Structure 1
Amino acid sequence: MTPLPALDEIARFLRHIKYAAATLALIWVIWLLAPILTPFVAAIMLAWLGDPLVDRLEAAGRSRNTAVLLVFVLMIMLIALALLILVPMLQSQVQTLVAALPGMQTWLLEKAVPALEARFGFRAAEWMDPQRLIDWARSHWQAAGGAAATVFGYLSRSSFALVTMVVNLFLTPIVAYYFLRDWDRMVERVASLIPRDHIATAAKLASESNEVLGAFVRGQFVVMVALGAIYATGMALVGLKLGLLIGMVAGLISFIPYLGATTGVILAVLAALVQAQGVDVKLLAGVAVVFTVGQLLESYVLTPRIVGDKIGLHPVAVIFAVMAGGQLFGFLGMLLALPVAAVANVLLRYAQERYRSSELYAGNAAVIMPAGVTDQIHRLTPMADEKSKRP
């Protein structure tokens, strides 16, 4: 393979530097605009989810505007139906929780705290005396003043965040409608900007990314709803009063591996202890059975059949992606974490194929082979080595 001239090598290096700088600048702009980008990202995801159905309606003879309007109305009706069903149920659960709060306080102060004090040898009840807390605050008034300022600052930010959330709830469907209407046009414009000598590779990667994202997002949504229903129904059957609320919370956060089940188990055990005013072995065993059955169904039935293995992300990678996205970009980062990780996984697989067919990997005898051939060679190589060792 003839080496490139030095000037071409320098030009290529500078071009890579330029691309890296542009990528970093884009990430910086996203970080700055993260608070206002959330409704737009949510709208793009809704448009992406609804576009296949719009395309089917167009193929059936309807115009783009009519198809978009039908799909948009269908999505709104589904959301409204879910709210009509879930809001009264959640309201009942919240009322049950509020009614149980005095009993929780009594059980905590009269049973749980004394038992912990006797077990571990510390005096927790003293720190729950209001007068002692007031005296402690007076003796540390400067720190208390700083903490109060921090708390009030957080409350003011939270109030602003609440207003922003309400605005986003109304803004997201409006933006989603326009994205859905112009989806094909936007895709064509993005495709027109891709260099012509890379269009085939870009189309292949985009198709694989779309397939992975579709399998994961649509499948994971179904798994979340199914797990929420399983947990809520199971805990209601075993007699846990707050089972519906806990089951829904555990189901909604089950897209993060093991976090949904772990959170649900902790909340369910605490609710069972408070409800029984102590240890009810039958109730705790029922909770354990519900979450065990839920995890077995998720691992061996729901995820393999609905989500499949197309995303190819290890659970540790999923947890890291969600935590990193939340740390860097807040809620927007958590919303984008798994789609970005899925697309990055597709790009990494492509980079691995290119690397295995490169001179760096194979040496001077490198042969450029189509994607997939290298994997077949690596599967066959151990078999050939094993046969050569036989007498």
Structure 2
Amino acid sequence: MSRLASWLGVLVLCLALLWLLAPVLAPFVIAAVLAYVLHPLVLRLEGWGRGRLPRTLAVVLVEALALLAMVGLLLLLVPVVWREWPLIKQQLPLVLDRLDASLRPWLAQWGVEVSLDLGEIKTQLKDYLTANREDWLAPLLSSLKLGGSVALAVAGYAVLVPVALFFMLHDWTRMVRLCVELVPPRLRSRFDSFMLDCDTVLGEYLRGQLLVMLALAVFYAVGLSLFGLDLALPIGVFTGLAVFVPYLGFGLGLVLALLAGLLQFSPGHAFLMVAVVYGLGQLLESFVLTPRLVGERIGLHPLSVILALMAFGQLLGFVGVLIALPASAVLLVALRRLREQYLQSQLYSSNDPGTHHP
């Protein structure tokens, strides 16, 4: 009993520290997750060098490759912004007029009578988009003062995460060994076996998630191209690769596609394109790709994947959706171990005294 109380006390203390230090630990947690994903690449790069490639150089190459991949994803937005921003300034009043002409009759069919006076909105937007730097410099500086803490936090993440990632990648093996040494020797074999199963399941999850991202990138790019969108390739690829951030990546891609569609097509064509492509894409991701390519790889039934996403999202919000599948994979390994121990326990194998025969 005293041993159980000690372990519970340690667990409560660790959870309290995590809760209190969460804002400080967040960039280090992000770096640790990235280090877990990228460390096998460091080992493989060292192996390709047959031991002649210094570990520091291997770490620098892998981290540079990862940062270039992230920057490349953001650079997909450059042609969108470069092309659409001048069109926004020129055609936004026309787009608002088309929206007014389309929405008013459509709402009237449902018995909703509204009068959309967009003249003032168009004037303000046009003035804002064509204003000189001096006109918006003062409100910009004012907003920067209000959001200074946010900007500082973003800058801190941009510096801390790469620095922490470098040291974690460089010393990952030693850090893991130090953590394993804290496990009592009598539990070491079971702990190693459990972590090995978790590592295998998480590896399958990462490979499955990569396949989902690539499949969705192709789907969105082809779907938008079939509707004739000029910027189908960058918007589609960005949407597909950004789905690893639930809701945020999908929502940003949807907004970009809708904006590009409104500037190129009529409002009806643009809304139909977004509804069809992004509606089918969301159904394809939620009910086909993620359950099949991710759920089956980690041993989760498709219904279990949907339930996990909903349950973790309800409990932890956006962060819960982000960690739902990898956390479910680790939980699945733990439940398998508990089931095996239960089937081998006396509680399962003992005879019922009421039915025992000598």
TM-score normalised by structure 2 residue count: 0.71
Identity across the alignment (%): 29
Distance in structure 2 (CA, Å) of the matches to 1:345 and 1:181: 31
> Which residue, 207, 213, 217 being the options, matches 2:206?
217
Give 2:339's aligned amino acid.
Q
Paired residue total: 325
How far off is 1:181 after superposition? 1.3
Provide, for residues 219-238 of structure 1, a one-character-per-residue CA deviation record: whole Å limited to 9, x for no partner: 31343244224313431353
Task: Find the residue that maps to 1:125 and give its secondary structure.
Answer: coil
How far off is 1:200 after superposition? 1.3
Distance in structure 2 (CA, Å) of the matches to 1:23 and 1:233: 50
How far off is 1:285 after superposition? 6.7
1:166 aligns with 2:158: no
Q: For residues 164 and 93 of structure 1, do their structure 2 counterparts lie closer, same or farther at Cα, with a shift above 3 Å needed?
A: same
Give 2:31's aligned amino acid.
A
Q: For residues 326 and 18 of structure 1, do their structure 2 counterparts lie closer, same or farther at Cα, with a shift above 3 Å needed?
A: farther
Matched-pair contact (CA < 8 Å) for 1:250–1:264: yes
Distance in structure 2 (CA, Å) of the matches to 1:253 and 1:156: 30
Give 1:29's aligned amino acid.
L
Residue in structure 1 matched with residue 98 of structure 2 by the alignment = 107
Residue in structure 2 matched with residue 137 of structure 1 by the alignment = none
Residue in structure 1 matched with residue 340 of structure 2 by the alignment = 353
1:22 aligns with 2:10: yes
Matched-pair contact (CA < 8 Å) for 2:245–2:322: no
Q: For residues 20 and 278 of structure 1, do their structure 2 counterparts lie closer, same or farther at Cα, with a shift above 3 Å needed?
A: same
Residue in structure 1 matched with residue 64 of structure 2 by the alignment = 76
Q: For residues 269 and 67 of structure 1, do their structure 2 counterparts lie closer, same or farther at Cα, with a shift above 3 Å needed?
A: same
TM-score normalised by structure 1 residue count: 0.66
Residue in structure 2 matched with residue 370 of structure 1 by the alignment = none
Moved more, 114-123 or 291-300: 291-300
> Which residue, 210, 224, 242 being the options, matches 1:235?
224
Residue in structure 1 matched with residue 133 of structure 2 by the alignment = none
Q: For residues 189 and 239 of structure 1, do their structure 2 counterparts lie closer, same or farther at Cα, with a shift above 3 Å needed?
A: same
Residue in structure 2 matched with residue 320 of structure 1 by the alignment = 311
Q: CA RMSD in A?
A: 4.2
Distance in structure 1 (CA, Å) of the matches to 2:69 and 2:248: 28
1:91 aligns with 2:78: yes
Moved more, 42-51 or 228-237: 228-237
Give 1:358's aligned amino acid.
S
Moved more, 318-327 or 199-208: 318-327
Moved more, 187-196 or 153-162: 153-162
Q: For residues 247 and 172 of structure 1, do their structure 2 counterparts lie closer, same or farther at Cα, with a shift above 3 Å needed?
A: same
Correspondence 1:1-391 to 2 at 5 A: 12=1, 14-59=2-47, 61-62=50-51, 66-80=54-68, 83=71, 85-98=72-85, 99-100=87-88, 101-113=92-104, 115-117=106-108, 119-123=110-114, 125=116, 158-241=147-230, 243-244=232-233, 246-248=235-237, 250-252=239-241, 254-255=243-244, 268=257, 272=261, 275-280=264-269, 284=272, 288=276, 292=280, 304=292, 308-310=296-298, 312=300, 314-322=305-313, 324-326=315-317, 336-364=323-351
Provide, for residues 119-147 of structure 1, a one-character-per-residue CA deviation record: whole Å limited to 9, x for no partner: 342436379978xxxxxxxxxxxxxxxxx
Provide, for residues 193-225 of structure 1, a one-character-per-residue CA deviation record: whole Å limited to 9, x for no partner: 111111111111100101111111243134324
Matched-pair contact (CA < 8 Å) for 2:96–2:118: no
Provide, for residues 339-372 of structure 1, a one-character-per-residue CA deviation record: whole Å limited to 9, x for no partner: 3332222112212222333333444479xxxxxx
Matched-pair contact (CA < 8 Å) for 1:96–1:241: no
How far off is 1:81 after superposition? 5.6
Q: Which runs of 5+ in 2 are unaligned?
A: 122-141, 354-358
Q: For residues 70 and 260 of structure 1, do their structure 2 counterparts lie closer, same or farther at Cα, with a shift above 3 Å needed?
A: closer
Give 2:338's aligned amino acid.
A
Give 1:125's aligned amino acid.
L
Q: Which runs of 5+ in 1 are unaligned?
A: 1-11, 131-152, 367-391
Distance in structure 1 (CA, Å) of the matches to 2:255 and 2:350: 55
Residue in structure 1 matched with residue 126 of structure 2 by the alignment = none
Distance in structure 2 (CA, Å) of the matches to 1:175 and 1:270: 38
How far off is 1:91 after superposition? 2.1
